[in-house]
Amino acid sequence: MMLLEVEPLDLGPDVRAVGLDLTEGADREPVRGENAARVWSLALPSIAGKEPWVLDFFSHLKRVREFCQFHDVEYPEASERCIVIPSIEQNALEELFQRFESETFGMRAGGRLETIDSALENDLASKGVDAYHLAYPAYSFCAVCNFEDGSVVVLSNSLWASEILRRVKPALSAESDVQVRLAT
């Protein structure tokens, strides 16, 4: 049985954050591989709801480009050192998450997605996900995806842990091997 726990995080007075941890078993080890990719590919788009979302990759870009080309996933080259992948369908997303589970990458939804956010994309290329610290208020949320550790950290001024839980539970309701709850 997998457990997806959602909890508010205290990252300081200037940051609102919610953590999602996907674990398994009594020792609560992070879930990896195919099962984790399936859960995350259902959960993350559900957090965005009806808002547009993108994935931000800022390392191992050659492998990301090769994956996108092989799977016919279109992506604009945001900058020389950042690839932004717009919303993709669940099967491709699951494959992408499985392929890049050992990489840390980001996700953004809403806000400035109508236009290219060159400043953020350049900051992502140089600072990694630390660039989200100042940028997240301009979006519905920014998320740091670290699937190797079984975690996602959502930075948002509008999404509380209870709202994320409310959005994720229905998306995972058909997954009988996943329990979703607020952390205790």
Q: Where are the alpha helices (DSSP H) in the chain?
A: 33-48, 61-70, 90-99, 118-127, 132-135, 161-171
Cβ–Cβ < 8 Å for 127, 15:
no
Strands 77-79 and 82-86: antiparallel
Q: Which two tokens stand for residue 126?
A: 């140089």
Q: What is the pLDDT of residues 145-174, one digit of tens each?
A: 999 999 999 999 999 999 999 999 999 999
Residue 60's contacts (CB-CB under 8 Å, 6 or more residues apart) are 100, 103
Give the Cα separation of 168 and 44 in Å (integer).
8
Looking at every residue in the chain, the average pLDDT score rounds to 92
Q: What is the pLDDT of residues 72-114, one digit of tens each?
A: 998 876 667 888 999 999 999 999 999 999 999 999 999 878 7
The residues spanned by each domain of the chain are 2-182
Asked whether residue 40 carries a pLDDT value surpassing 90, the answer given is: yes
Confidence at residue 78, expressed as pLDDT on a 0 to 100 scale: 60
Give the Cα separation of 73 and 105 in Å (integer).
17
Q: Which residue has the higher pLDDT, 63 or 77?
A: 63
Mean pLDDT of 124-140: 92
Confidence at residue 116, expressed as pLDDT on a 0 to 100 scale: 80
